[in-house]
Amino acid sequence: MSAHPWGDELVERPVLSEQTVFAGRVFDVVSREVDLGEPGVVTRELVRHPGAVAVVVLRDGRSADDGAEVLLLRQYRVPVGGYLWEIPAGLLDGGDDETLLAAAQRELAEEADLVAASWDVLVDFATTPGGSSEVIRIFLARDVAPAPESGFVREGEEAEIRLEWVPLAEAAEAVLAGRMHSPSGSLGVLAARLAEQTGFTALRDVSTPFLLRPGLTPA
């Protein structure tokens, strides 16, 4: 094991120019000219994305000998042409004043009709760092209860959402067996399984800054 902690770091490189190639409803495609210094100037096309949050929801198993159960949802995804098992998630589109935690709480209520009394940071990740600016914070939510009636109506693909409580160990096995492909769902399940095995002792507080999005308020 390394003697000193190591990790990713943000390093700004001069952006010489940027042009919007496509402006979409959720994301834009931009062409950016960046000066990398000694390696020279490069032009890269990338997806400029607002970012998102996701939530791993856990509850106790049916008996004292059982491990935790995780809430999964089955949803159709047009780009891959199939139903994927995922975790509650959504875009950071709640306005400039919405914190990462508030966005996660909103998505949990909208997609799963639940509220949670216990929240922690589980894992942060960049979905496609070679081609997109999308980054996601995955929260761990526990001590859940039914959410108050909000009148929120699920539309489109969300109208078909199907919810299932699955043993966390079984979900982790499904990821490793290639039966679960959602990036946030797969990473979240594996991280939660590891956290469970270590007694949830290494979780971060919800106020922890998000390295890749320093301009966002965590909680």
Q: Where are the alpha helices (DSSP H) in the chain?
A: 100-112, 168-176, 183-197
**CA distances (Å), origin 178, targets 6, 73, 126, 144, 191:** 30, 17, 21, 29, 16
For residue 54, the cross-strand partners are 89, 138
| Strand ranges for the chain from DSSP E | 15-23, 28-35, 41-48, 52-59, 69-77, 82-86, 89-91, 114-126, 135-146, 162-167
Contact 193, 186 (CB under 8 A): no
From residue 135, give the alpha-carbon distance in Å to each of 15, 29, 48, 127.
20, 16, 11, 6
Q: Which is catalytic among the residues 33, 158, 173, 196? A: 158
How far does the chain reach from its first CA to its final CA, in angstroms? Answer: 32
Determine the Cα–Cα distance for residues 68 and 46; give it in Å rounded to an integer. 39
Q: How far apart are CA 179 and CA 172, in angstroms?
A: 10
Two tokens at 105? 């709480």
45 in catalytic set = no
For the chain, the farthest-separated pair of C-alpha atoms sits apart, in whole angstroms, at 61
Catalytic residues: 158
